[in-house]
Amino acid sequence: MPRAFDAYNTLSDAECQDRVRAARARLGRDAVLLCHHYQRADIYQHADLTGDSLKLSRLAAQTDSPHIVFCGVHFMAEVADMLSRSSQTAILPDLAAGCSMADMANLARVERCWRELGEVLAVETEVTPVTYINSAADLKAFCGAHGGIVCTSSNAETIARRAFCARPKILFFPDQHLGRWTGSRMGLPLDEMAVWDPDLPLGGLAPESIRKAKILLWKGHCSVHQMFRKSHIDAFRARHPDGLVIAHPECAFEVCAAADHVGSTEFIVKTVKEAAAGTRWLVGTELNLVERLAREVAPQGKTVQFMSSVVCMCSTMQRIDPQHLAWTLENLADGQVVNPIRVPEHEAALARQALDRMLAIS
């Protein structure tokens, strides 16, 4: 019988850290810890491998450890499960660690959207469904089944360009902001990107708007990145005319357009770390990443400032705490797997098609 979580709820963080270290020593190479850049510091310190969504997908496919303990959110653990071998097990220390953006699209709504689009367009030849990796496995399977593809924040433009070679339009879900920024990077005017509202018949669009649109943008967003505003950038530039601004493409279009650099979490970390000593940065992405980066580059005289004046953390990613990690690893060291993430094979096979198309071209 696995140990119950209840007994861990009352443990102090310090005690959990000791128990995590002891369990890891017992496990050795039997478990690998993958951590997304947004993980809290008390979890991140235990990571074997870190990265953005694309890098972690590749690392999950490459590791030969039998247990992949994923300190991230649910869709990332699903990807690790689908890209690793069937003898390996992906584990998410807290099943409640989801992604609120991923939840903004679900299969029933996307299928309805596809049907409704089919009343106006020849969808199977005119529209490529492109799902951001921040989506459930069944939506990746939908893309696999309909000639579509997955993208991440670091390869969205490459993927969209390839999609346009195959079909003249893209249905992009669930993040309208990444879709819009990607389209604008390709030179598409904003009026050729129409927002599809899944709560309204025909997405709230007139048939002629659908025919005109090159990209149909699902009405979804990230609750963390929507907090950043162009006014934050304006205030920073007024105070620090030499300062540099870097933002994640999940931010609103106006924020991305006003930034000096836009890119994935891995890109943000790399760009600021490689920047000249003494530079000052305003960073528009999740707070744990920004605070860690600020600490790491301070010795080179670099200043890193968070874009918002209010705390913007990924509250779901935060759920992976020392208590859940200790519980997961101690059970694993006892030979008990808790919280395995297993995508049903019929779904995984289709989703893998969409993931493999992405990995082959990015």
CB 142 within 8 A of CB 129: yes
SS3 229: coil
77 touches ligand SF4 (CB under 6 A): no
Alpha-carbon dihedral angle through residues 145, 218, 37, 91, given to the nearest 10 degrees: -40
Encoded amino acid at 275, one letter? A
Q: Which of 215, 259, 314, 343 binds ligand SF4 (CB under 6 A)?
A: 314
Closest distance to ligand 13P from the beta carbon of 120 (Å): 32
338 touches ligand SF4 (CB under 6 A): no
Closest distance to ligand SF4 from the beta carbon of 214 (Å): 24
224 touches ligand SF4 (CB under 6 A): yes
Closest distance to ligand SF4 from the beta carbon of 52 (Å): 10
Q: Which of 265/331 has CB closer to ligand 13P? A: 265
Residues that bind ligand 13P (CB under 6 A): 52-53, 134, 152-154, 222, 248, 250, 264-265
CB 277 within 8 A of CB 239: no
138 touches ligand SF4 (CB under 6 A): no
Backbone phi and psi for residue 33, each to the nearest 5 degrees, phi listed first: -105, 115
CB 333 within 8 A of CB 70: no
Q: Which of 38/142 has CB closer to ligand 13P? A: 38
Give the C-alpha separation, 71 to 81, whole Å: 13
Q: How many CB atoms lie within 10 A of CB 210?
A: 20
Closest distance to ligand 13P from the beta carbon of 265 (Å): 4
Q: Which of 317/320 has CB closer to ligand SF4? A: 317
Q: How many CB atoms lie within 10 A of CB 268?
A: 27
Q: Which of 245, 317, 343, 350 binds ligand SF4 (CB under 6 A)?
A: 317
Quickly list DSSP for 286-347.
-HHHHHHHHHHHGGGT-EEEES-SS----TTGGG--HHHHHHHHHHHHTT---SEE---HHH
The interface region with ligand SF4, picked from 85-93, 144-152, 156-164, 314-322 by CB under 6 A, is 314-322
Closest by CA position to 100, among listed 226, 4, 228: 226
Encoded amino acid at 267, one letter? F
Q: Which two tokens stand for residue 121?
A: 């367009």
Q: Which of 34, 117, 193, 222 binds ligand SF4 (CB under 6 A)?
A: 222
Give the C-alpha separation, 228 to 311, whole Å: 11
Closest distance to ligand 13P from the beta carbon of 189 (Å): 26
268 touches ligand SF4 (CB under 6 A): no
Q: Which of 226/279 has CB closer to ligand 13P? A: 226
Q: Which of 2, 42, 100, 157 binds ligand SF4 (CB under 6 A)?
A: 100
Q: Which chain residues interact with ligand SF4 by CB under 6 A?
A: 73, 99-101, 134, 222-224, 250, 286, 314, 316-317
